[in-house]
Chains A and B, each alone.
Chain A
Amino acid sequence: MAKPRLGVFKFSSCDGCQLSILDAEEELLALLDKVELGDFLEASSASVGPPYDVSLVEGSVSTSEEAERIVRIRKESKTLVAIGACATSGGLQALRNWSRLGLFESAVYPEPDVARALEKALPVSNFVAVDFELRGCPVSKAQLLQSLASVLRGAKPTLSTSAVCFECKRVGNACVVVAGGTPCLGPVTASGCGALCPSWGRGCYGCFGPSDDANMDSYASWLTAHGVDRHEVGLLLRGINSQSPEFRKWVEKND
């Protein structure tokens, strides 16, 4: 049987999620042995090109060229996986979506290149159908390898989207909110990081975006009742996954 052809593509991003593939050092050669590399510009100058059995897409769509390119890649890919916060929610650069400096304003730019920027930096799913999303800033290497293994076998990966709190309890951390009074997005953020920030004695800042059962209104009320300023809650949500519907709606209503 022919090896499945893999494409790895970068849009507006920091390269960190693609790097997570290369960071799979020990597993990397074994993984790449199971696929035919169709395109992975950061790692290889060889390009077989489309069609791709599986495409991994990093980054948000933030220019008209990118909007055209993602449509093309979708057409050329059997399965398309969006990897990382930029691809799944727009990422940190999507903060400009709220900016009064929005590019749609009656503004004149000295640079034509800038003018090509879309008004907003948006997730891949705003433009094309996405088969599967891997959250995180960066993605979890374990989730990436596990999901890729499933996808390459034609199975749909399953990932837990329960809150960070569950992971945090499992690793036995003292709660940073209850014991330390530190604002933490753990109760409303999807797991996957292994409760990294609370394990390092700090509050979660929401790299993996909202958990499935996130009740933002309820948690925000609890935080404000415990002395956290509303604006501070807003700042926490206006972070890496600010454009996820659950986070965005709360900010638009309350901050």
Chain B
Amino acid sequence: MTRRVVVDTGPLARVEGEGSLSIVDTGTGSPEVRLNIFEPPRFFEAFLRGRRAEEVPDLVSRICGICPVAYQISSLNALEGLFGVEVDGQVRRLRRILYYGEWIESHALHVFMLAAPDFVGAPDAMAMAERDPGLVKEALALKRLGNSLMSAIGGREVHPVSLKIGGIYRAPSKGALSSLLPELDRLRGSVRNMAAFVSSLQKPSLERESTLVCLHDPSRYAIDGGEIVSNSGLRLPPSSFEESFEEYQVGYSNALHSRIRGGGSYMVGPLARFNLNFDQLNPVARAMAREWGLKPPLKDPFQSMLVRVLEIVHALEEAAGEVREYVQPVHPSVPYKPKAGVCHGVSEAPRGTLYHSYAVNARGQIERAKIVPPTAQNQSRMEDDIRLLVPQIMESDVDRARRLGEMAIRNYDPCISCATHFLRLDIKRSPA
């Protein structure tokens, strides 16, 4: 049987981390689609063993330079749950504003610098800036605002230093946060132009049924925690995650794949959140969705870029409200005593549900860590999308085939650096 390589992207550009896509026509009618992830594993789960629980938020943040807050919050949810820590309401608010900052920064990076160039036929945002400097400058201002929110609460935007088990090392003054309001309010207005640009882009389409998974929080569009829900009626506490989802290894990827036990691939991320939590989106974002004719069920992964824009709008509105309501807490953190046990924590990273689990011993040391990042969970889904696009890809010339494949991958804003750092060091010792 002859094998013909239809697409081999080589190292993918404009994604975070190192991967490539290959599509091989095997002549059997079912082409072989592989998202090859060659980013080297960094063995976080192995070296977390023996570390003290209090070090965990600083250590896991280093898994991802783009969404460090997601890692910190999921780990805090797990460990604070185990230790029975009740974090002050204003501190929870600070953590949420920090997390909204991360959504804004990460989504703005993806939409305007990594994804949009595809749709205008530019190699990068810099080339886009030559054609439309105003747009790119404003997108950078948006990204900067996300970063400013993160630095104001976290000390810096990449690997913030302020979060700790029990609260926050130091709570910023009301004035420090309020000083960001003029720019925040300005962008709440100007984001409309950026959104209009994204909605005007011609996108390929791919209507498909998907199992969608995200968190649900009764009090808000889930970000800093919640129950795990799906569009197939799943409803679980974080502690049951591993009962319903499993990871498995494929030879060509340094990141574990995920599937629903007894089921298939599933999708996490903005599209899942939009479909399952639409009613909780901020009214301004919901109104914008209606203007564009977007409503659940939204099945096309190529619409996810637009959903990210809606989530930017949502995050801007919510952050502005939370900053206005913020009152500097008297006690930024509460004391706690480490306790032995197993704990689970989840939150909604920009790319989707991020699950952490730790086993802690009586001395407060980590005995076992398990971290399931969103991009790892989406890998099979990305390959499934490509399989559905193969007929279109086969009909296209080499350049377009490659671009279509890459765009379908970028729909998920994959963070390969995140996904790969979890390959567990499963050592089978040879007999002595």
- CB pair B251–A111 under 8 Å, yes or no, is yes
Binds B, one of A25-33, A152-160, A247-255: A25-33
In the complex the two chains form, what is the Cα distance from A24 to B42 in whole Å?
Answer: 27
Q: Which residue of B lies closest to A107 (CB)?
A: B427
State the main secondary structure of chain B at its contact with A.
Answer: loop
Partner of A101, one of B124, B158, B251, B425: B425
Q: Are B13 and A41 in contact (CB under 8 A)?
A: yes
A159 CB, min distance to chain B CBs, angstroms: 18
Are B18 and A110 in touch, CB under 8 angstroms?
no
Interface contact A92-B42, CB-CB below 8 Å: yes
Q: Does B137 contact A (CB under 8 A)?
A: yes
Given contacts A63-B40, A107-B429, contact A138 B155 (CB under 8 A): no
Q: Are A92 and B427 in contact (CB under 8 A)?
A: no
Q: How far is the CB of B176 from chain A (nearest CB, A)?
A: 12
**Of B38, B63, B423, B425, which is in contact with the most chain A CB atoms at under 10 Å from its CB?**
B425
Tell me whether B428 and A16 are in contact (CB under 8 A): no
Q: Is the CB of A42 within 8 A of B14?
A: yes
> Which of A14, A45, A105 gathers most chain B CB within 10 Å?
A14
Residue of chain B at shortest CB distance from A47: B13
Are the C-beta atoms of A99 and B169 separated by less than 8 Å?
no
Q: Which of B51, B68, B159, B415 has the most CB of A within 10 A?
A: B159
Is A240 engaged at the interface, CB distance under 8 Å to the other chain? Answer: yes
Q: Tell me, yes or no, whether B269 is within 8 Å of chain A by CB.
A: no
Stretch at the interface among B76-84, B139-147, B180-188, B272-280: B139-147
Instruction: Check if B14 sits within 8 Å of A43, measured CB to CB.
Output: yes
Nearest residue, chain B, Cβ from A97: B47
Asked if residues B126 and A235 are in contact (CB atoms below 8 Å), the reply is no
Contact indicator B40/A96 (Cβ below 8 Å): no
Q: Are A113 and B429 in contact (CB under 8 A)?
A: no
Choose, from B22-30, B52-60, B353-361, B376-384, the stretch at the interface: B52-60
Q: Dominant SS at the A interface?
A: mixed
Q: Are B162 and A25 in contact (CB under 8 A)?
A: no
What is the bound-complex CA distance between A66 and B162, given in angstroms? 34
Whether B158 contacts A23 by the Cβ 8 Å rule is: yes
Q: Which of A122-172 contact B (CB under 8 A)?
A: 137-138
**A93 interface residue per 8 A CB criterion:** yes
Taking a contact as CB atoms closer than 8 A, the residue among B15, B16, B62, B430 that contacts A92 in the complex is B62
Interface check A70, CB cutoff 8 A: no
Distance in angstroms from A177 CB to nearest chain B CB is 15
Is B65's beta carbon under 8 Å from chain A? yes
- Contact count band on B: 35 or more
Q: Is the CB of B47 within 8 A of A99?
A: yes
Point out the residues of chain B lying under 8 angstroms from A200, CB to CB.
Answer: 155, 161-162, 169-170
Q: Which of A15, A25, A37, A41 contacts B141 (CB 8 A)?
A: A25
The smallest C-beta distance from A86 to any residue of chain B, in angstroms, reads 9
Known pairs A26-B140, A45-B14; A108 contacts B430 (CB<8 A):
yes
Inter-chain CA distance A207–B59, complex, in Å, is 11
A106 to B136, CA, bound (A): 53
Q: In the complex, A45 Cα to B64 Cα: how many Å?
A: 22
CB pair B141 A93 closer than 8 Å: no
Asked if A46 and B144 make an inter-chain contact with CB atoms under 8 angstroms apart, the answer reads: no
* B406 partner residues in chain A, CB cutoff 8 A: 45
Q: Mark B238-270, 1 if CB is under 8 A from A, else 0.
A: 000000000001011010000000000000000
CA distance A197 to B164 in the complex (A): 12
Is B109's CB under 8 angstroms from A22's CB? yes
Are B158 and A19 neighbours in the complex by a CB distance under 8 Å? yes
Contact A19 B66 (CB under 8 A): yes
- B126 in contact with A15 (CB, 8 Å): no
Chain A residues with CB under 8 Å of B113's CB are 22, 43
Closest-CB distance, B150 to chain A (whole angstroms): 10
Partner of A15, one of B64, B169, B430: B64
Across the interface, which residues of B come within 8 angstroms of A25, CB to CB?
Answer: 140-141, 143-144, 147
Q: Contact check, B417 vs A43: say whether CB atoms are below 8 A apart.
A: no
Chain A 30-57 interface residues, beta-carbon cutoff 8 Å to B: 32, 37, 40-47
Q: Which residues of chain A come closer than 8 Å to B124, judged between CB atoms?
A: 37, 40, 43-46
Task: Say whether B254 contacts A43, CB under 8 Å.
Answer: no
List 27 A–B pairs whose Cβ atoms lie within 8 Å, in order of A's numbering.
A10-B18, A12-B42, A14-B62, A15-B64, A17-B65, A22-B143, A23-B157, A23-B158, A25-B141, A29-B140, A37-B126, A41-B14, A44-B14, A45-B124, A45-B406, A46-B127, A101-B46, A109-B428, A113-B251, A114-B254, A114-B423, A117-B40, A138-B159, A196-B155, A199-B155, A200-B155, A202-B161
Interface residues of A, Cβ cutoff 8 Å to B? 10-20, 22-23, 25-26, 28-29, 32, 37, 40-47, 62-63, 65-66, 91-93, 95-96, 99, 101, 105-114, 117, 121, 137-138, 193, 196-197, 199-202, 205, 207, 235, 240
3 closest A-B pairs by CB: A16-B65, A44-B124, A46-B123
